[in-house]
Amino acid sequence: MLLMARGREAHATMSGDTETKSSRRAFLKTAALTGVGGAAGAVVLNGVSPDLLREEVVFEPNRSYWAQSLPPPNPSLQQSIDADVAIIGGGFSGLSTAYFLKKDAGSNTRVVLLEAQRCGNGASARNGAMMLTSTADRYMESSNDPEMDKRIYDLTVANIRKLKELSATLGIDAEIEQNGALQLCNTAEDAAQARRYAEKARAASLPCHFWEKTKVAEALGTQIYKGALFDPNSGQVHPGKLVALFKAAAESSGVEIFEQTPVTHIEEGESLRLTTTNGHTVQARSLVLATNAYSSKLGFLRQAATPVFDYVGITAPLTDAKLSAVGWKSRLPFNDCRTQVFYLGLTQDNRIHIGGGPVDYVFNNGVRQPANVQAHFVRLREELSRIFPTLGAESFEVEWGGVVDMSLDETPSVGWMGKHGNIFYAIGFSGHGVNLTSVFGQVLADLVRGKDADWRWLPYLNRFPPYTPNEPFRWLGVQAALCYYKLTEPK
């Protein structure tokens, strides 16, 4: 959850399009990107820039607090092999797909996962730890299809429960808590919209409730918000331990995982050939791209999503006295209603983490962290002090940043592509992927096995997000939108 869509334009191929709200912020978000992209359509540079501007391929180490709990990495691929299914990417998407696929397909199907660095090196262990229901485009939003909203909501709620069961079965505590989450209202206008949404949600049998300011203050210990929406089925997790859970589940099912094995080239065909940096190859009948923000580095899905840098800081464990003074009695995770959203959580050992706020985009889908990031952490500390004044100038024990994959309208996509229809993908989680990635992991596993009929109802199946232009129009559009948000966001 990074850039909240405050209103979205309909897309013709999607059933149940989200209801559009009147919002200048939403208008500029759409206009700054799609408008520039439309103009770029007549410009030759937009078509040739991917060939002229080669993207840098770099995998920076994950230095987050969550990464301290990642499992030890496996050895790299040491020889060329054949497989039935190859999966690129060792985050939530790749590991969950591998687990579901191998569990359902059985011992006769060889499933191989290749990870460039170590499992969890990307967004899976760099995020804000909120396990949210629904999808980014539908979370706390009404669409024109309430029945679909409810079906997707129920699907994601059930997934959190399944993950809790998997954690208990394998005896790996991922610190999954499904006690609810809050979306807070920064302004009176936000609160009025939230009340209206809560009424529609109840009519659609969605268990979302509006909380008045006094109830929010009692639950969180802060007086600055005008109200909130409460979802009782969302929650939080320790992302690094969730990676460990998925990796253990996949390997216990018979998945072969090779880490420190970047893939440099994919040769399409009825049998796909993957070449790695050490020259070894993997020949497979099917390929799953679980590469999210890094997908364009392999020449795929460049127009489907944009890698955006988000930042998080976490404190040392608070003393009982300091936590009591904060007044966060409910311990519920929460996010606000800004377009460039802030989100907070409280760990089981009483660390407060806060992330979000202004994001960065690096020219040409860059994934190397910008040089001057300290301003982001200063902003996070300021926001933390604003929310909880009793903390004062609480310092962060660990600070980190990294890229997530943002689609233009915050809708995800899952499906298949390629000349032979044997390349499967999921992308566009838009900061809402901690829970949704493993929902789509099950979808991907079924698609690979030819069970696509089970998911024909899903509006995100084989539905690409709106086209995002190439450089330099992408960079110009993103910068225009971010400048506007900076000027207009509520303080």
Q: What is the pLDDT of residues 220-266, one digit of tens each?
A: 999 999 999 999 999 999 999 999 999 999 999 999 999 999 999 99
Q: State how many domains the chain has.
A: 1
Convert the pLDDT of each residue in 281-304 to its tens digit.
999 999 999 999 999 999 999 989
Average pLDDT value for residue range 366-388: 94
| Range of lowest pLDDT (327-331, 337-341, 427-431, 486-490) | 486-490
pLDDT above 70: residue 25:
no
Which pair of structure tokens corresponds to residue 409?
Answer: 């309208």
Higher pLDDT, 52 or 298: 298
pLDDT score of 5 more than 60:
no
What integer pLDDT is reported at residue 34 of this predicted model?
Answer: 47
Q: Which of 21-25, 241-245, 416-420, 439-443 is least confident?
A: 21-25
pLDDT for the residue numbered 176: 98
- pLDDT bin (cut points 50, 70, 90) of residue 372 is confident
Q: Domain for residue 18, yes or no?
A: no
User: What is the pLDDT at residue 487?
Assistant: 75
Residue 31, pLDDT > 90, answer no
**The pLDDT of residue 110 is above 90:** yes
Q: What is the pLDDT of residues 336-347, one digit of tens each?
A: 999 889 999 999
What is the per-residue pLDDT for 42? 45
Q: What is the mean pLDDT of residues 436-449?
A: 98
Report, as an integer, the average pLDDT of 336-362. Answer: 95
Assigned domain for 4 exists: no
- What would the mean pLDDT of 316-320 be, rounded to a whole number? 97
In a domain, 14, yes or no: no
User: With helix as H, strand as E and coil as C, how does the chain read?
Assistant: CCECCCCCCCCCCCCCCECCCCCHHHHHHHHHHHHHHHHHCCCHHHHHHHHHCCCCCCCCCCCCCHHHHCCCCCCCCCCCEEEEEEEECCCHHHHHHHHHHHHHHCCCCCEEEECCCCCCCCHHHCCCCEECCCCCCCCCCCECCHHHHHHHHHHHHHHHHHHHHHHHHHCCCCCCECCCEEEECCCHHHHHHHHHHHHHHHHCCCCCEEEEHHHHHHHHCCCCCCEEEEECCCEECCHHHHHHHHHHHHHHHCCEEECCCCEEEEECCCCEEEEECCCCEEEEEEEEECCHHHHHHHCCCCCCCEEEEEEEEECCCCCHHHHHHHCCCCCCCEECCCCECEEEEECCCCCEEEEECCCECCCCCCCCCCCCCHHHHHHHHHHHHHHCHHHCCCCCCEEEEEEEEECCCCCCEEEEECCCCCEEEEECCCCCHHHHHHHHHHHHHHHHCCCHHHHCCCCCECCCCCCCCCCCHHHHHHHHHHHHHHHHCCC
- pLDDT mean across residues, the chain: 90
Does residue 85 lie within any of the structural domains? yes
Quick check: 342 and 357 in contact, CB under 8 A? yes
- Which residue segment(s) compose the domain that 302 sits in? 24-488
Burial class (CB in 10 A: 0-12, 13-18, 19+), 9: middle
Band of residue 364 on the pLDDT scale cut at 50, 70, 90:
confident
Q: How high is the pLDDT of residue 22?
A: 37
pLDDT digits (tens, 9 = 90+) for 171-208: 999 999 999 999 999 999 999 999 999 999 999 999 99
- Of the two residues 41 and 157, the one the predictor is more confident about is 157
7 part of a folded domain: no
Q: What pLDDT is attached to residue 175?
A: 98
- Look at 5-9, 34-38, 73-77 and tell me which has the smallest mean pLDDT: 5-9
β-sheet bridge partners, residue 143: 18
Residue 49: per-residue pLDDT: 57
> With bands split at pLDDT 50, 70 and 90, how would you rate the model's confidence at 484?
confident
CA distance 444 to 353: 32
Question: What confidence tier does 467 reach under pLDDT thresholds 50, 70, 90?
Answer: confident
Average pLDDT over residues 470-490: 81
Location of structure tokens 């690979």: 448
**Is the predicted pLDDT of residue 416 greater than 70, yes or no?**
yes
Domain of residue 87, CATH code: 3.50.50.60
Residue 5 within a domain: no
What are the Cα distances from residue 334, in Å, to 181, 205, 216, 246, 340?
6, 22, 11, 25, 14
Give residue for tokens 């979205």.
8
Q: What is the pLDDT of residue 411?
A: 94
pLDDT of residue 45: 53
Helix 146-170 with 239-253: angle, nearest 10 deg: 70
Answering whether pTM is above 0.85, one says yes
| Most confident by average pLDDT, 25-34, 80-89, 369-378 | 80-89
Tens of pLDDT, residue by residue over 421-436, are 999 999 999 999 999 9
Residue 278 lies in a domain: yes
